[in-house]
Amino acid sequence: MSRIATLEGALRRANRLVALILGVALVATVLFVLIDVIGRKTGWGSLGGSDEISGYVMAAVASWGLACALLDRAHVRIDLIRQRLAAPGQALMDLFAMIVTNGVVLLIAYYCWPVLQKTLERGSRANTPLETPLWIPQGIWFGGWAWFAFSATALSLIAIAYLVQGRRSELAASIGLGSELEQ
């Protein structure tokens, strides 16, 4: 295994772990929501806040999960022109799409920071009975976008390295078009 492949493997394993942690958080949310519903229906009283907490879990899934989906090549791409090209053309389109994605993700992550920054400056709390200090969920959420930006950049560099070395099949396996059949 080359050094690049080792790096790619590490990135993949890290994201697999992230996905598992998010999955466990999701299961915890299921139980929390369930206890809330049962409590409300039986009149034992509800814990309250399951709505708010599940929103925060959603934000975590919708930020940290993005890099997992990227590594699994699960983000939807339209294959209309690409599928008509020969392998070198496909590799170039894949790399182009990857770099554009990388740029946009860096930009989004950059503009996500002020949201957390303002919360930290003002010490904002959620306008709910829980009065959650917002830096906690927003910190996790921003971390997810930062991780997405990092993973995308790392993957772009890995892909460029594969291209330079002419290892086209590794390139396709890292940033090519994923198919739902493989999942």
Partner 1 sequence: MIWTVAVSLLGLMSLSIPVGIVLFILGIGVGELFSMFPLLRGLGQVVWSSSSSSTLIAIPLFVLLGEILVRGGVAARTYGALDKWLSWLPGGLIHANIATATMFSATSGSSVATAATVATVAMPQADRLNYDPKLFSGAIAAGGTLGILIPPSINLIVYGFLTETSIPQLFSAGLLPGLLMALAFVIVTALICVARPKLGGPSRSFSWGERARSLVQLVPIIILFVVVIGSIYAGWATPTESAAIGVVIAALIAMTLGTGLGLATIAEALHGTIRISAMIMLVITGAYFLNFAMTSAGLGRQLTDLLQNTGLPPIGTLLLVVLLYLILGFFIETLSLMVATIPIIVPIIAELGYDKVWFGVLMIVLIEMALITPPVGLNLFVVQGARSKGSMNDVILGVIPYVLVMLAMIALLIAAPGLALWLPSIL
Binding region for partner 1 (CB under 8 A): 16, 19-20, 22-24, 26-27, 29-30, 33-34, 36-37, 41, 51-52, 54-59, 61-63, 65-66, 68-69, 72, 74-82, 93-94, 96-97, 100-101, 104-105, 107-108, 111-115, 137-138, 141, 145, 177, 179-181, 183
At closest approach, how far in Å is the CB of 7 from partner 1? 21
Which of 2, 104 has the CB closer to partner 1?
104
CB of residue 67 to partner 1, shortest distance in Å = 8
- The torsion defined by the Cα of 83, 84, 90 and 94, in degrees rounded to 10, comes to -50
The residue among 3 and 41 lying less far from partner 1, judged by its C-beta, is 41
Nearer to partner 1, 47 or 107 (CB): 107
Tokens of 60: 């975590």
Write down the least CB distance from residue 56 to partner 1, Å: 6
Placement of tokens 């690409």 in the chain: 82
- CB nearer partner 1, residue 1 or residue 111: 111
Q: Supply the DSSP string of 118-173, one letter for each residue.
A: HHHHHT-B-SSTT--BTHHHHHHHHHHHHHHHHHHHHHHHHHHHHHHTT-HHHHHH
* CA atoms of 39 and 159, how far apart (whole Å): 52
For the bound state, the minimum distance from the C-beta of residue 3 to partner 1, rounded and expressed in Å, comes to: 27
Cβ-based neighbours of 6, under 8 Å, separated by 6 or more: none
